[in-house]
Amino acid sequence: MNQPKYKTWVRSKALITFSVLTVISVLLSLLSFISVLFLIFIIPTLLFGYILLIVGVTGWRLSEIGGDYQNKIHQLIASKVEGNRILDIGCGSGHLLAIIAKQNPESELVGIDFWGDNWEYSKELCINNFRAENITNKVEFRKETASNLPDDLGMFDCIVSCMTFHEVQDVNDKTISIEVALRHLKKGGRFIFLDLFQDPKYYPERKKIDKVIASQNGRVTERKSLSEVIQLPFPLKHKKVLGYAEIITGRMAD
């Protein structure tokens, strides 16, 4: 039988690249072991080895066999979902939407994603995963960019987004996608956004997030570091992994 394929956020391209770089630098270090060149090659060996360790163990932790943390994060978001018409911005492989669908088989779901070359997710993967899971909800997957959602998506009771806004490359200001999302929420509608909101690289002005939400008549009802809600083991707590992740929940004015 067809099995769903929910790949982790760790791209195999990254694993392969750092494995190759580590092997090459180890070989160069060994070949130059008794010369002064060893001191030059040992630095990249340690650096690439460390990055490979972080990337590799992150992939394992996120997967089912290493603690299932990606699923735990999706379950956390899904547990806060309300209403009948739900949008997932940056739906990836459709995993979060599949959980929401199973929670409420009557709900109507829309998943949008840009599905660029940088990721190993696709619209076909989402459709196949929903088929493999025998999900019967009304669902639509569309290729769109989070920074410019079309009006014909319509209005939603609830919008979720997980680890996507900081990935949107067509805008420098990552809060633009938040503003665009909120325009598609009904009055009283709920939003649950998880992203690297505490990372100054992506969100240099933290107050801007609240300003943007308020400008759309939204209100933050809960804001927590991911590590406060889920105990993150090494290396998920690392600043370059999920150390800056925060979950922001809120509601639009009635």
Ligand X SMILES: C[S@@+](CC[C@H](N)C(=O)[O-])C[C@H]1O[C@@H](n2cnc3c(N)ncnc32)[C@H](O)[C@@H]1O
Q: Which of residues 5-24 bind ligand X (CB under 6 A)?
A: 9
DSSP secondary-structure letter at 165? G
Residue number, 90 or 218, with CB nearest to ligand X: 90
Calpha distance 52→246 (Å, rounded): 25
- Choose one: 26-34, 109-117, 178-186, 226-234; the region binding ligand X (CB under 6 A): 109-117
Amino acid at position 200, single letter: P
CA dihedral 83, 88, 91, 95 (to 10 degrees): -20
Nearest-CA neighbor of 76 among 242, 254, 198? 242
Residue number, 78 or 146, with CB nearest to ligand X: 146
The number of angstroms, rounded, from the C-alpha of 158 to the middle of its chain's C-alpha atoms is 18
Tell whether residue 246 is a contact of ligand X (CB under 6 A): no
Tell whether residue 141 is a contact of ligand X (CB under 6 A): no
Tell whether residue 195 is a contact of ligand X (CB under 6 A): no
- Choose one: 19-27, 161-169, 182-190, 220-228; the region binding ligand X (CB under 6 A): 161-169
Query: Pick from 22, 25, 107, 145: which binds ligand X (CB under 6 A)?
Result: 145
Question: What are the structure tokens assigned to 125, written together?
Answer: 């993967």
Nearest-CA neighbor of 225 among 208, 242, 200, 210? 242
Q: Which of residues 65-104 bind ligand X (CB under 6 A)?
A: 90-92, 95-96
Q: How far is the CB of 171 from ligand X (least distance, A)?
A: 8
Nearest-CA neighbor of 112 among 145, 71, 70? 145
Tell whether residue 48 is a contact of ligand X (CB under 6 A): no
Q: How many residues bind ligand X (CB under 6 A)?
A: 21
Query: Pick from 18, 48, 69, 114: which binds ligand X (CB under 6 A)?
Result: 114
The residue number whose beta carbon is nearest to ligand X equals 92
- Which helix H or strand E contains 149, and what residues bound it? none
Degrees, nearest 5: CA angle 43-45-48: 105
Question: What residues line the site for ligand X (CB under 6 A)?
Answer: 9, 90-92, 95-96, 113-116, 119, 121, 145-147, 162-164, 167-168, 170
